[in-house]
Chain A
Amino acid sequence: MPNHRQINLFKILKISILVLCAFFVFNTQFSLSNPKTQNQSTVTLNVSITTAQAAYSKGSESFVTKMLLFQHPSSKWVRDIYNLARGFLNILLLVGLLYIAFRNILHLDIENYAIKKLIPRVLAAAVFGNIAIYLIAFLSSMVDKLSAISIFSPRPIDLSMMMGGPAALTGILGLVAAGVIAYFAASAFTLGATLILSVPLACCSLIILVAPWVLALGISLLMDVRPWVVLIGSAVAPIAIACTILPQTEGLFKRWLKIVAFWVFYPLILYAIVYIATKIPSFSGATGAGGLSRMIGFVLPIAIRFGLLLMAFRLPFLWEKDIGGLIAKLPGQVYGAGKKVVGASIGAAATGGRMAYFYQGRARDRSIREAKAEAARTMEGNRHVEWDRFANRRYGMTGADLDAYLATDPGRATRVHGEFEQEFRSSVAEASSQAGNQAFEDFRTSRLNKIYEGVQRFNPGGISSAIKEKWEFLQKDTEKAHYRKSVINEIILGKTYNEKHQEAIQKDDQSNIHSLPELEANEAIHYKKLLRTVAEARGISEDTANTLIQADLQRLYSSQGSSGEYVSAFEDALNFKHRNSDENLAQVDLANVVQGFTRRRVLALQYARSRNPDDVENMRKRAIGESYERMRGMPSGSPTPQGPQMAQISAGEQKIINLLTRIDQGVKADSSASAYDIARLHVQSLDVKDITNDDFIKLTAQSHGTLGDITKHLQGKGEDPEQAQSFIKDLIESNGGPVSQFMGKIGDDDRLQNLVKQYQTSRGGQLALLGKVQGADTVEKVSSIILKQQPDQETLMKLQQSCAAFAKTQTTPQEMQNAKTFLGSQLGLGSGETIDAQTAQNVARALETMAFKEPKDYK
């Protein structure tokens, strides 16, 4: 195991170095108290003072100031650049002013406010641009004068200064050397071991000596850079000041100002810091006689001095990152330029359709799509495994056993399979989504992707044009995607959708809408918009979209617009679309639109309702009235121009019309006849399979509406409210009884007579129909079977519990078997194996009709 040996060797070496460093520190401490180690030799690395003096002279005009005032022999280049920049500025200002003047004189389209805002800036630029260099020279001169003050005076920045003076430096070096020698003299190491020890010792010595020297060199370099920055910055000052005119270029001026101002004043800051650093004394053993306190007294001031100078060195980079950033970026820029050159040749071979395919994300999308489909297929293949899990989780049995068990009860099997399908679909969706995410991640980190990304960087199509194209493409694509997403999201996310469309609905003028058909017509406009938007986003042709919309609208307006009806209407639309296109995604979008429109319609209805309770009532009544007029063959008014064609009377509606007409005739002919009885006679032979839920709701609504009219009428007559309420109560409880029983209370009020007749007609018809439909016959039949058994209360309770077992999904097989057996015995169905959930429901309904509770039952 060579690797292990190697690692162990490194570990030993690391520990050895740490131990040796500790020895070194110990020896240093030891030698501090040894007077024999002191000597007078000093090591100074004075590299900055000469440079500093050249550019920054104490109390007199420095090199920079002389250059800026054109007094130095070498200042010609500064003057040339400055003159050029100044001339450029002046020409620019002249042209600009002439342009503004002519536009103003000729009253061309130009904003006065913009001119007024621009003129002060132009004038300021004209003045300061022409005297900029003298202003900077003045500042530089001021810095020179300030340098006469001792705080800002130039000082040598060297090793001696950092160590606290020549004597301290000598002391340190002597102490270090003596400590090392003493240590080796006392040790009994071999020559080999001594050589190894010398490495960390040499490193420590180098750090102590070299780090301050490097820092001094760095500061010195900054001072070398300073004249160049100030001189070039001053020379281009007119152009920089010209940048203040336009808001778009004002940022450039600010950057220029930051650079020049800082570098002009940098020596003052630097030497103030140096001044502070030199004032920090070294106190060897100042805090006590112990070795550690001596070390702290010695090392800490050095560290503080070093830290201060380090701060002075970093200041330009912290202050303005341009210079530092430029220096830092320089290698990267050079490398980037090289890459571009190299990449040009590689990219030339790699561009083409493949690149476009790649960059438009189609490669990525395809891999995600395939991964999702694969995951879904795998899940589908494992359906039996999921079924086993489901069976085990729910019923503690295997899938096969559950199949066998459910085979005996088709109703229950449908319900359980439905639940399983729901769970399975969500599992498939989850697995598919996870696979998609994984595929995206795999693709992103794939070698192929990295290669293509690399190739993109070397695209030879020209950096600027490539970026521009890419940007435009991305922008358009993002806009499109955002738009599409916003449409879909608005629909899917209830809150956003509601907020936005609530506003839209409120903006609509709905003041003239008093009936449901009118509301439908208004809503149709929004529906069309929604569907067109999605059709457009999905690339469905206009003709197809129109066909789709027309077909759906016809269907929708023939319904009462409940959520379920919308969904069913659109299922057809979606199938229609599916047959004509391979693009399955369109179905999802359309389904979203359906959902969205249904919600919107509900909101619109709510809004219509909430406008005014009276309006709501009127709207409801009118809708009902129109509906029944239509049913009775008396269309109310002409259809609204923009509205849909009104629906034809359905078979169910026609049957209700006939029934109501017959009851009406019967009640008019004989006021002592019960409307309910008349209705029952007619309903007995009536085939009610065409009569839908909505027809019943309309019938019920009509009864309620008539009751409302009666209440208002009684109020209008000044009837006592309690008596009126009592009258209404009796009317309801008569359940479509004869009108004659109310004649005493009605008197000769014709209007009230008609209203009561109308109410009893609809109420009688309603009750008779309700008794006929929805398994009422079955209920009657089942109840007669149970009654034959002459059940007591306990049996009834047990029957109820047995029926309840069918309604629960968590019922165990044993419980179910017991329930079936009991029901079978009571209904005369043998062992009860043939009893399913539907039968149990019928029995439960029959039981409810067969008994009612008394107050004592509640106790």
Chain B
Amino acid sequence: MQIINDPKIIRYRAALQNEREYLANDLQLHLQEMRDKAKNNIANKKPPFDEANTKILYNEIFSISRPHLELQTGDLWKKQTVEIQNETIQETTRQIIDKLRNNDEEFIQFSRTLVPMLIESNFINVLKKHGQ
């Protein structure tokens, strides 16, 4: 763990915290929408998720990952290749879609907190997978 002493950086990181929270809040609303829509689609015998919503979800997870992982890992996230970043986000998106499909109400309710943690966990797993 690396301790930061520079007040300027601390202030910047406080901004990152706020940004993450706003984006996580937005994501939670989007997940609720997706959950309702999935239920409706299943009732109408359609595939539960469409491409547009999944794409939006991917982008939102990507947006959250940047402030959150910068807070948690410093420059580690920034330094990674596009492939590793994509793999992390794709894995997280896949897991969230699974939770939505299973109607994991608890996850959706606490997604503001849980999604960043999930991203972090997946990032570490991807790094381990790539031998880092």
Interface residues of A (CB under 8 A from B): 494-495, 498-499, 502, 562-563, 599, 602-603, 605-606, 609-610, 612-613, 616, 693, 696-697, 700, 704, 722, 725-726, 729, 732-733, 735, 766-768, 770-771, 773-776, 779-780, 783-784, 787, 791, 793, 796, 845-846, 848-855, 857-858
Of the candidates A494, A729, A849, the one whose C-beta lies within 8 Å of that of B10 is A849
B72 at the interface (CB under 8 A from A): yes
Give residues of chain B (23-71) contacting chain A, Cβ–Cβ below 8 Å: 23, 25-26, 29, 32-33, 36-37, 39-40, 43-44, 50-53, 55-56, 59, 63, 66, 70-71
B73 at the interface (CB under 8 A from A): yes
Contact with A along B80-116 (1 / 0, CB 8 A): 0010000000000000000000000000000000000
Judging by beta carbons under 8 Å apart, are B51 and A498 in contact? no
Judging by beta carbons under 8 Å apart, are A609 and B36 in contact? no
Q: Which of B11, B50, B66 is most buried by chain A, counting CB atoms within 10 A of its CB?
A: B11
Judging by beta carbons under 8 Å apart, are A849 and B36 in contact? no
Of the candidates A609, A774, A779, A791, the one whose C-beta lies within 8 Å of that of B56 is A609
Report if A613-B51 is in contact (Cβ < 8 Å); known contacts: A697-B22, A770-B19, A776-B18.
Answer: yes
Tell me, in angstroms, the Cα distance from A602 to B53 when the chains sit together. Answer: 13
Supply 24 A–B pairs (Cβ within 8 Å), ascending by A.
Answer: A495-B40, A603-B37, A610-B37, A610-B52, A616-B52, A697-B22, A697-B26, A700-B63, A767-B12, A771-B12, A774-B17, A776-B14, A779-B14, A783-B7, A787-B5, A793-B1, A796-B3, A845-B14, A848-B13, A849-B13, A852-B71, A853-B73, A854-B73, A855-B76
Q: Which of B17, B29, B44, B66 is most buried by chain A, counting CB atoms within 10 A of its CB?
A: B17
Of the candidates B51, B71, B82, B124, the one whose C-beta lies within 8 Å of that of A725 is B82
**A850 — which chain B residues lie within 8 A by C-beta?**
3-4, 10
Tell me, in angstroms, the Cα distance from A770 to B3 when the chains sit together. Answer: 22
Tell me, in angstroms, the Cα distance from A21 to B29 when the chains sit together. Answer: 83
Tell me, in angstroms, the Cα distance from A725 to B53 when the chains sit together. Answer: 22
Judging by beta carbons under 8 Å apart, are A783 and B10 in contact? yes
Judging by beta carbons under 8 Å apart, are A693 and B52 in contact? no
Judging by beta carbons under 8 Å apart, are A784 and B21 in contact? no
Of the candidates B7, B39, B72, the one whose C-beta lies within 8 Å of that of A784 is B7
Question: In terms of DSSP, what is the predominant structure of the interface of chain B?
Answer: helix
**B3 — which chain A residues lie within 8 A by C-beta?**
791, 793, 796, 850-851
**B13 — which chain A residues lie within 8 A by C-beta?**
848-849
**B22 — which chain A residues lie within 8 A by C-beta?**
693, 696-697, 700, 770
Q: From B49, which residue of chain A is reached at the shortest CB distance? A: A610
**A854 — which chain B residues lie within 8 A by C-beta?**
1-2, 73-74, 76
Report if A495-B43 is in contact (Cβ < 8 Å); known contacts: A605-B33, A783-B7.
Answer: yes
Judging by beta carbons under 8 Å apart, are A776 and B1 in contact? no
Q: From A792, which residue of chain B is reached at the shortest CB distance? A: B3
Tell me, in angstroms, the Cα distance from A766 to B20 when the chains sit together. Answer: 12
**A722 — which chain B residues lie within 8 A by C-beta?**
82
Judging by beta carbons under 8 Å apart, are B78 and A733 in contact? yes
Tell me, in angstroms, the Cα distance from A845 to B16 when the chains sit together. Answer: 11
**A846 — which chain B residues lie within 8 A by C-beta?**
10
Of the candidates B2, B50, B73, the one whose C-beta lies within 8 Å of that of A610 is B50
**A857 — which chain B residues lie within 8 A by C-beta?**
1
**A700 — which chain B residues lie within 8 A by C-beta?**
19, 22-23, 63
Tell me, in angstroms, the Cα distance from A320 to B7 when the chains sit together. Answer: 98
Report if A776-B15 is in contact (Cβ < 8 Å); known contacts: A697-B22, A852-B71.
Answer: yes
Judging by beta carbons under 8 Å apart, are A606 and B4 in contact? no
Judging by beta carbons under 8 Å apart, are B40 and A499 in contact? yes
**A603 — which chain B residues lie within 8 A by C-beta?**
36-37, 40
Tell me, in angstroms, the Cα distance from A522 to B66 when the chains sit together. Answer: 37
Of the candidates B15, B17, B36, B51, the one whose C-beta lies within 8 Å of that of A494 is B36
Report if A849-B18 is in contact (Cβ < 8 Å); known contacts: A599-B36, A787-B5.
Answer: no
Judging by beta carbons under 8 Å apart, are A770 and B18 in contact? yes
Judging by beta carbons under 8 Å apart, are B7 and A852 in contact? no
Judging by beta carbons under 8 Å apart, are A852 and B73 in contact? yes
Judging by beta carbons under 8 Å apart, are A858 and B124 in contact? yes
Judging by beta carbons under 8 Å apart, are B52 and A613 in contact? yes
Contacts A771-B18, A849-B10 given; 6 further ones with Cβ under 8 A? A562-B29, A700-B63, A773-B18, A775-B14, A848-B71, A853-B2
Of the candidates B11, B39, B52, B76, the one whose C-beta lies within 8 Å of that of A495 is B39
4 closest A-B pairs by CB:
A771-B15, A770-B15, A849-B13, A776-B14
Q: Which of B15, B22, B26, B71 is most buried by chain A, counting CB atoms within 10 A of its CB?
A: B15
Distance between B63 CB and nearest chain A CB, rounded to angstroms: 7
**A605 — which chain B residues lie within 8 A by C-beta?**
33
Distance between A446 CB and nearest chain B CB, rounded to angstroms: 44
Report if A849-B17 is in contact (Cβ < 8 Å); known contacts: A609-B56, A610-B52.
Answer: yes
**A776 — which chain B residues lie within 8 A by C-beta?**
11, 14-15, 17-18
Tell me, in angstroms, the Cα distance from A853 to B73 when the chains sit together. Answer: 5
**B36 — which chain A residues lie within 8 A by C-beta?**
494, 498, 599, 602-603, 606
Number of A-B residue pairs, CB cutoff 8 Å, is 145
Distance between B53 CB and nearest chain A CB, rounded to angstroms: 7
Q: From A769, which residue of chain B is reached at the shortest CB distance? A: B15
Judging by beta carbons under 8 Å apart, are A502 and B50 in contact? no
**B18 — which chain A residues lie within 8 A by C-beta?**
696, 770-771, 773-774, 776
**A562 — which chain B residues lie within 8 A by C-beta?**
29
**B26 — which chain A residues lie within 8 A by C-beta?**
697
Report if A779-B10 is in contact (Cβ < 8 Å); known contacts: A495-B39, A606-B37.
Answer: yes
Q: From B85, which residue of chain A is reached at the shortest CB distance? A: A729
Judging by beta carbons under 8 Å apart, are A852 and B14 in contact? no
Q: From B55, which residue of chain A is reached at the shortest CB distance? A: A613
Q: From A771, which residue of chain B is reached at the shortest CB distance? A: B15
Judging by beta carbons under 8 Å apart, are B82 and A780 in contact? no
Distance between A467 CB and nearest chain B CB, rounded to angstroms: 42
Of the candidates B4, B11, B29, B51, the one whose C-beta lies within 8 Å of that of A851 is B4
Judging by beta carbons under 8 Å apart, are B10 and A855 in contact? no
**B23 — which chain A residues lie within 8 A by C-beta?**
700
Judging by beta carbons under 8 Å apart, are B39 and A498 in contact? yes
**A849 — which chain B residues lie within 8 A by C-beta?**
4, 10, 13-14, 17, 71
Distance between A147 CB and nearest chain B CB, rounded to angstroms: 66
Tell me, in angstroms, the Cα distance from A272 to B76 when the chains sit together. Answer: 101
Tell me, in angstroms, the Cα distance from A853 to B123 when the chains sit together. Answer: 13
**B43 — which chain A residues lie within 8 A by C-beta?**
495, 498-499
Tell me, in angstroms, the Cα distance from A603 to B50 when the chains sit together. Answer: 14
Of the candidates B5, B16, B52, the one whose C-beta lies within 8 Å of that of A609 is B52
**A848 — which chain B residues lie within 8 A by C-beta?**
13, 17, 71
Of the candidates B14, B33, B78, B124, the one whose C-beta lies within 8 Å of that of A606 is B33
**B55 — which chain A residues lie within 8 A by C-beta?**
613
**B21 — which chain A residues lie within 8 A by C-beta?**
774
**B5 — which chain A residues lie within 8 A by C-beta?**
787
Judging by beta carbons under 8 Å apart, are A851 and B1 in contact? yes
Judging by beta carbons under 8 Å apart, are A693 and B25 in contact? yes
Distance between A609 CB and nearest chain B CB, rounded to angstroms: 6
Tell me, in angstroms, the Cα distance from A771 to B11 when the chains sit together. Answer: 6
Judging by beta carbons under 8 Å apart, are B10 and A852 in contact? no
Judging by beta carbons under 8 Å apart, are A494 and B39 in contact? yes
Q: From A735, which residue of chain B is reached at the shortest CB distance? A: B12
Distance between B94 CB and nearest chain A CB, rounded to angstroms: 20
Judging by beta carbons under 8 Å apart, are A851 and B17 in contact? no
Q: From B4, which residue of chain A is reached at the shortest CB distance? A: A850
**B124 — which chain A residues lie within 8 A by C-beta?**
858
Of the candidates B4, B39, B53, B59, the one whose C-beta lies within 8 Å of that of A852 is B4
Q: Which of A563, A768, A770 is most buried by chain B, counting CB atoms within 10 A of its CB?
A: A770
Judging by beta carbons under 8 Å apart, are B33 and A602 in contact? yes
**B40 — which chain A residues lie within 8 A by C-beta?**
495, 498-499, 502, 603
**B82 — which chain A residues lie within 8 A by C-beta?**
722, 725-726, 729
Q: From B76, which residue of chain A is reached at the shortest CB distance? A: A855
Judging by beta carbons under 8 Å apart, are A845 and B33 in contact? no
**B132 — which chain A residues lie within 8 A by C-beta?**
855
**B33 — which chain A residues lie within 8 A by C-beta?**
602, 605-606
Tell me, in angstroms, the Cα distance from A773 to B59 when the chains sit together. Answer: 25
**B15 — which chain A residues lie within 8 A by C-beta?**
767-768, 770-771, 776
